[in-house]
Amino acid sequence: MEESLRQRIEIRQGDIAQLAVDAIVNAANTSLLGGGGVDGAIHRAAGPGLLAECKGIGGCPTGEARLTKGYKLPVKYVIHTVGPVYRGQPEDSRLLASCYRESLALADTHGVRSIAFPAISCGVYGYPVADACRIAVDSTVLFLNDHEQIQRVIFMLFSDENRKVYEDYLAGT
């Protein structure tokens, strides 16, 4: 990968709800009404204002994204996207790539310069992390290639194991 592009991508480990960036991405479900995992952590840290705004959106189809304010989080925006439940079908990768693309496009439209993603679909939704990582990084690189505004994309991994998967993949690109 070209060095200038590589410098816009960062891999970190920890709680995405603590990150101070312009926008964080939430791995939500189609109701947008909260849940466990990263969704639960984001809603807990954001406070009730986030759920109230989400209620007014009326859900989000798999592979799409919706934007809200950050409330008590140290971010301007939360971008809620709905990853596919992994079934081992070609459609899974198409929908997961769409989550990254749509989230980045929405962020771009709102003037975001720094954004962080969790490993969408890699928890409850069962997506194998090595495959999901490849899709996450490749979709992001494709987007950054012809969009200048977003200067920093952080992949925020929760576990040591997942962080290593991302680091290894990025090292090989």
Binding site for ligand AR6 (CB under 6 A): 15-17, 27-29, 35-39, 41, 83, 118-125, 156, 158-159, 162
Q: Which is nearer to ligand AR6, 46 or 112 (CB)?
A: 46
Kindly report the number of other CB atoms within 10 A of residue 160's CB atom. 9
Q: What is the distance between the alpha carbons of residues 160 and 12, in angstroms, rounded to a whole number?
A: 10
For residues 17 and 75, which CB has a smaller minimum distance to ligand AR6 in the complex?
A: 17
Q: Cβ of residue 161: shortest distance to ligand AR6, in angstroms?
A: 9
Question: Do the strands 152-157 and 9-13 form a parallel or antiparallel pair, or are they unpaired?
Answer: parallel
User: CB-wise, 15 or 168, nearer to ligand AR6?
Assistant: 15
Distance CA 80, CA 111 (A): 17
Phi, psi of 155 (to 5 degrees): -95, 110
Pick 63 or 146: Cβ nearer ligand AR6: 63
**Measured from the CB of residue 148, what is the shortest distance to ligand AR6 in angstroms?**
27
35 token code pair:
């849940």
> What is residue 18's DSSP assignment?
G
Closest separation in Å from C-beta 116 to ligand AR6: 9
- Strand pairing partners for 77? 23, 69
Q: Cβ 166 to ligand AR6, closest distance in Å?
A: 11
